[in-house]
């Protein structure tokens, strides 16, 4: 009986004991509070990690998972409850001397215990890193479709409805063509159709690609793959096409592919767009398995007409491209706007409210001819113009061979605010389809088009403003991304025509000359060409050569005297070009007396400005030597003793891998050099002065700016002396790239204020000159510091010699930190023969130089010896220099 009673009472007793223990635990207020505090800290750390992952995902365009948002909501609610708990007035009453403190211990301890349990559960439920976000499924090229500016035109409504009905309602039609003259609005129309199809979900996927006269098949494949969410693997064209074809054939819903601006036949199969009768390899495998398994036999593969997948919308200027070359059965013609719609669009672009006068309507008819592109260009050119401007246009006679687009572009061109913007416009017209804005910056900066601009940072800002002005004028269009811009073919052709007629210029694009004007006089000022004959070019000012792969040299020796007015030479992407000019043996010096700007870019065979015919230093011998040793001293410099360019102001070298050095000595022809830009070249030295006599030491009295970029093999910049206009030696990006630099010597540069300049609002970071051994700064009257930007910390782990002499304004080495690990203490002698004085090394260069400055040593030199007598400790010696004659 006792055993039975014991068995019955034991659970009750245990429950009571557990309850009492729990209540006692609640009274342990301080311990429970500390446990809650620790739980909150752990949860806070987890939340910070999730927050960082969420921020990263959002920046990459990904969406946050719903359960992550829910978890963050729970965390926020829990943090609010904890904050409310901490502000509870009962915490103050836990210190009462009467028995009431037990009540508050119990109540607050109980709350803390329960909240700690809840916090631990939330912490344990924290999402894993791979569960934070997901990639958004893109179904269209939104950046392209969002730029559509189609107005509600009555003359466009009918054709839009017909095309939409055919695309959506007729399953038998798989390819539709739209044609019409250039500038009539085909691209705008089909982008509007694509936008409607996307917004109304008439197609699951809408892909858009611009083909142009020189299609880039790889880019077209990327444009189609992007809205499909497909990442094309491999570089092979067939591999990429096969991946794209497989993906399109597996698409369960409707897919609309728009190929805009076809000029000729485009092989859709080569792109990877499935055609009638295409069979997927997977399905073939299934057929084989089916044949082997039983009597049912293979199922016939669906053709393009059988499955729900692809519809293709094509546009072209010519109907026969669609019907004959692309075999499109159904085409639609886009006509010019009727008079009502033309005036409606013109009023919008010209900012005219209300009705237009009859005379103004006549001007629209006269100059625009119903072409939307011409209407936009003319309308923007006449915005806010006076009545006298309108009257002038009305009375102006048109030249017989002028087309409406050329007239409208000429009108906008005439209203551009200055010659600089006009030059930028002409340069844009030379740059092809979807050019990079940064390329335009480099061309304008290199060719000296931008007045008063002396750095790439300033050039970027000015070009950005200029492009916006050209867009506002209707002469330039938005590009496929923020780093590109575009120009309509009609505008480009009109611009080149204007250049030819008004500036005696003619152009060559991609090595093909469409029209070689008859040069009866010598009035040409700008020419962009491939090899030309020895004509008279006495007034030729600019030579620009691009993509002429067979060109060996720019011009013959006998032509030099004919180029008396030549001011600018720009050559790029000519793979066979070996020199600018080939000089006969035993010839006199050649002179380019007015040449001010020289730009060379991506010339893979180029080694020097000139070579000598019959020279013992044969080019093949040089190339063999350079191949064996990339930095051979036998390699010729860019300039030599037989060429003089006395007025050269700007020199730009980009991706010139066979140039080993710019010059071996300093001929008088380079003393007017103001700007030097060298990027992505493999040279170890910019200037080489070894073995030169005193009268040939590098002297650049006019030099104002140097840009060195991606010079990963550079070991020695120069010994810069007497560069009177130089304000800074290098930008921060240049400094970061000088990983091989061993020595730097600068003297007599009166305007130099700092060595390293800040290019923009960069964040705090370290700049390390890992191999720099020697720095010598002498007679720099305005030098304030090595760098004035506070957020840069400099490290010189190999620095052994630092000479600073006659730099009266240099109170600190840098405004940020500066460390040189091998420098430990300072020794100085005020006069020769006097006892040396010592300063304690202050830990970095800034503190040490500040200490010396405070002792009023405004003229000093600092020398770092490799080691003291014991061979271990390095030291810094400061000696008062004897006067030096200037």
52-110 confidence digits (pLDDT tens): 888 888 877 788 888 888 898 988 888 888 888 888 777 766 665 555 666 767 777 78
Residues 345-368 have pLDDT tens digits of 888 888 888 788 888 888 888 778
Quick one: pLDDT at residue 177?
Answer: 93
User: From the centroid of its chain, how far is CA 299?
Assistant: 51
Quick one: pLDDT at residue 622?
Answer: 39
Quick one: pLDDT at residue 297?
Answer: 40
Quick one: pLDDT at residue 825?
Answer: 52
Quick one: pLDDT at residue 95?
Answer: 64
Q: What's the CA gap between 548 and 813, in Å, rounded?
A: 50
Distances, alpha carbon 183 to alpha carbons 104, 204, 405, 486, 509, in Å: 83, 30, 8, 14, 22
Single out the residue of 515, 429, 425 nearest to residue 473, CA to CA: 425
Quick one: pLDDT at residue 646?
Answer: 86
Residue 842 phi/psi, 5-degree rounding, is -90, 5
Single out the residue of 431, 437, 599 nearest to residue 510, CA to CA: 431
With 50 as the cut, is the pLDDT of residue 698 above it? no
User: Please, which residues bridge with residue 818 across strands?
Assistant: 794
Output the pTM of the full model. Answer: 0.48
Regarding predicted confidence, which is higher, 269 or 26? 269
| Contacts with 563 (C-beta within 8 Å, 6 or more apart), sequence order | 537, 538, 540, 555, 592
With 70 as the cut, is the pLDDT of residue 306 above it? no
With 50 as the cut, is the pLDDT of residue 31 above it? yes
With 70 as the cut, is the pLDDT of residue 143 above it? no
Quick one: pLDDT at residue 331?
Answer: 92
Q: Is 738 helix (H, G, I), strand (E, B) or coil?
A: coil
Neighbour tally for 70: CB within 10 Å: 12
Give me the chain's average pLDDT, please: 74
Quick one: pLDDT at residue 290?
Answer: 42
Regarding predicted confidence, which is higher, 790 or 760? 790
Quick one: pLDDT at residue 722?
Answer: 56
Q: What's the CA gap between 602 and 623, in Å, rounded?
A: 17
Range with the lowest mean pLDDT among 71-80, 519-528, 694-703? 519-528
Quick one: pLDDT at residue 240?
Answer: 86
Average pLDDT estimate for 43-60 = 86
Query: Which domains occur in the chain, in start order?
Result: 11-134 (no CATH), 142-282+300-333 (3.40.50.300), 416-503 (1.10.10.10), 504-669 (no CATH), 699-886 (no CATH)
Quick one: pLDDT at residue 463?
Answer: 93
Q: 289 falls in which pLDDT band (50, 70, 90)?
A: very low
Residues 751-761 have pLDDT tens digits of 788 888 886 66
Quick one: pLDDT at residue 178?
Answer: 93
Quick one: pLDDT at residue 525?
Answer: 39
With 80 as the cut, is the pLDDT of residue 868 above it? no
With 60 as the cut, is the pLDDT of residue 645 above it? yes
Range with the lowest mean pLDDT among 192-201, 332-341, 450-459, 816-825? 816-825
User: Please, which residues bridge with residue 746 across strands?
Assistant: 720, 777
DSSP run (H or E) holding 346: helix 339-350
With 60 as the cut, is the pLDDT of residue 116 above it? yes
Q: What's the CA gap between 788 and 833, in Å, rounded?
A: 37
Quick one: pLDDT at residue 827?
Answer: 44
Quick one: pLDDT at residue 140?
Answer: 60
Q: Token digits for 342?
A: 């033309």
With 50 as the cut, is the pLDDT of residue 842 above it? yes
Q: Is 3 helix (H, G, I), strand (E, B) or coil?
A: helix
Quick one: pLDDT at residue 313?
Answer: 93
Neighbour tally for 732: CB within 10 Å: 19
Quick one: pLDDT at residue 179?
Answer: 93
Q: 881 falls in which pLDDT band (50, 70, 90)?
A: very low
With 70 as the cut, is the pLDDT of residue 287 above it? no
Residue 215 phi/psi, 5-degree rounding, is -65, 140
Average pLDDT estimate for 543-547 = 81
What percent of the chain has a predicted confidence (pLDDT) above 70?
68
Most confident of 410-424, 523-537, 699-713, 724-738: 410-424
Q: Token digits for 531?
A: 């090899």
Quick one: pLDDT at residue 262?
Answer: 92
Quick one: pLDDT at residue 232?
Answer: 80
Quick one: pLDDT at residue 833?
Answer: 42
CA angle 111, 113, 119 (to 5 degrees): 100
Q: What's the CA gap between 356 and 366, in Å, rounded?
A: 15
Quick one: pLDDT at residue 424?
Answer: 92
Quick one: pLDDT at residue 13?
Answer: 58
């Amino acid at each position: 009986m006792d055993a039975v009673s014991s068995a019955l009472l034991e659970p009750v007793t245990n429950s009571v004991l557990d309850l009492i223990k729990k209540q006692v635990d609640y009274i342990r207020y301080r311990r429970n509070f500390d446990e809650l505090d620790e739980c909150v800290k752990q949860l806070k750390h987890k939340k910070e990690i999730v927050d960082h992952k969420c921020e990263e995902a959002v920046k990459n365009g990904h969406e946050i998972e719903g359960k992550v948002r829910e978890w963050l909501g729970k965390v926020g609610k829990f943090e609010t409850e904890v904050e409310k708990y901490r502000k509870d007035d009962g915490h103050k009453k836990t210190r009462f001397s009467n028995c009431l403190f037990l009540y508050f211990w119990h109540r607050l301890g109980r709350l803390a215990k329960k909240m700690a349990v809840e916090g631990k559960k939330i912490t344990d439920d924290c999402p894993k890193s791979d569960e934070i976000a997901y990639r958004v499924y893109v179904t269209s090229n939104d950046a392209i479709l969002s730029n559509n500016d189609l107005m509600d035109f009555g003359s466009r409504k009918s054709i839009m409805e017909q095309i939409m009905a055919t695309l959506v309602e007729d399953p038998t039609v798989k390819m539709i063509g739209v044609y019409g003259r250039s500038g009539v609005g085909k691209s705008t129309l089909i982008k509007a159709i694509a936008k409607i199809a996307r917004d109304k979900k008439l197609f699951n996927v809408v892909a858009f690609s611009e083909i142009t006269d020189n299609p880039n098949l790889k880019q077209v494949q990327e444009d189609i793959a992007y809205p499909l969410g497909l990442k094309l693997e491999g570089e092979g064209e067939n591999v990429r096409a096969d991946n794209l074809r497989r993906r399109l054939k597996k698409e369960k819903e409707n897919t609309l592919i728009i190929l805009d601006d076809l000029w000729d036949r485009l092989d859709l199969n080569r792109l990877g767009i499935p055609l009638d009768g295409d069979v997927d390899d997977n399905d073939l495998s299934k057929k084989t398995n089916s044949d082997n398994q039983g009597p049912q036999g293979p199922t016939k593969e669906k053709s393009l007409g059988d499955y729900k997948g692809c519809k293709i919308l094509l546009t072209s200027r010519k109907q026969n491209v669609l019907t004959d070359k692309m075999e499109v059965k159904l085409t639609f013609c886009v006509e010019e706007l009727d008079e009502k719609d033309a005036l409606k669009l013109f009023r919008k672009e010209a900012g005219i409210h209300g009705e237009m006068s009859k005379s103004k309507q006549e001007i629209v008819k006269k100059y625009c001819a119903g072409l939307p592109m011409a209407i936009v260009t003319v309308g923007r050119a006449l915005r806010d113009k006076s009545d006298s401007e309108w009257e002038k246009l009305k009375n102006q006679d048109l030249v017989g061979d002028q087309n409406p687009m050329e007239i409208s572009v000429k009108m906008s061109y005439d209203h551009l605010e200055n010659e600089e913007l006009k030059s930028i416009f002409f340069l844009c017209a030379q740059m092809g389809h979807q050019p990079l804005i940064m390329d335009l910056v480099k061309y304008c900066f290199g060719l000296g088009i931008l007045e008063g601009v002396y750095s790439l940072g300033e050039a970027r800002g000015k070009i950005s403003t200029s492009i916006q002005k050209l867009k506002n004028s209707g002469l330039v269009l938005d590009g496929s991304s923020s780093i590109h811009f575009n120009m309509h073919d009609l505008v480009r052709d009109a611009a080149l025509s204007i250049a030819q007629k008004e500036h005696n210029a003619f152009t060559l694009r991609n090595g093909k000359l469409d029209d070689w004007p008859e040069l009866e006089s010598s009035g040409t000022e700008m020419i962009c060409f491939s090899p030309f004959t020895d004509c008279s070019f006495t007034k030729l000012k600019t030579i620009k050569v691009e993509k002429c792969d067979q060109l060996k040299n720019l011009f013959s020796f006998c032509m030099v005297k004919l180029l008396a007015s030549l001011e600018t030479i720009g050559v790029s992407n000519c793979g066979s070009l070996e020199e600018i000019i080939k000089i006969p043996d035993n010839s006199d010096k050649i002179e380019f007396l007015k040449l001010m700007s020289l730009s060379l870019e991506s010339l893979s065979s180029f080694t020097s400005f000139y070579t000598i015919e019959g020279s013992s230093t044969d080019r093949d011998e040089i190339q063999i030597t350079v191949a064996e040793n990339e930095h051979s001293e036998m390699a010729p410099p860019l300039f030599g003793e037989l060429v003089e360019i006395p007025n050269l102001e700007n020199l730009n070298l980009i991706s010139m891998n066979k140039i080993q050095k710019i010059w071996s000595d300093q001929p008088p022809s380079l003393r007017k050099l103001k700007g030097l830009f060298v990027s992505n070249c493999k040279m170890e030295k910019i200037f080489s002065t070894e073995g030169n006599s005193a009268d040939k030491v590098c002297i650049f009295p006019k030099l104002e700016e140097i840009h060195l970029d991606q010079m990963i093999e550079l070991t020695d910049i120069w010994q810069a002396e007497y560069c009177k206009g130089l304000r800074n030696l290098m930008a921060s990006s240049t400094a970061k790239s000088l990983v091989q630099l061993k020595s730097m010597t600068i003297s007599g540069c009166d305007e130099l204020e700092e060595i390293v300049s800040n290019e923009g609002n960069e964040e705090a970071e370290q700049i390390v000159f890992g191999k720099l051994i020697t720095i010598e700064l002498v007679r720099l009257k305005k030098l304030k510091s090595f760098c004035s930007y506070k957020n840069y910390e400099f490290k010189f782990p190999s620095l052994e010699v630092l000479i600073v002499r006659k730099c009266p304004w240099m109170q600190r080495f840098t405004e940020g930190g500066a460390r040189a690990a091998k420098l430990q203490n300072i020794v100085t002698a005020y006069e020769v023969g006097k006892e040396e004085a010592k300063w304690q090394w202050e830990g970095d260069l800034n503190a040490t130089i500040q200490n010396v400055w405070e002792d009023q040593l405004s003229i000093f030199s600092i020398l770092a010896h490799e080691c003291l007598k014991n061979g271990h400790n390095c030291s810094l010696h400061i000696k008062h220099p004897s006067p030096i004659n200037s």
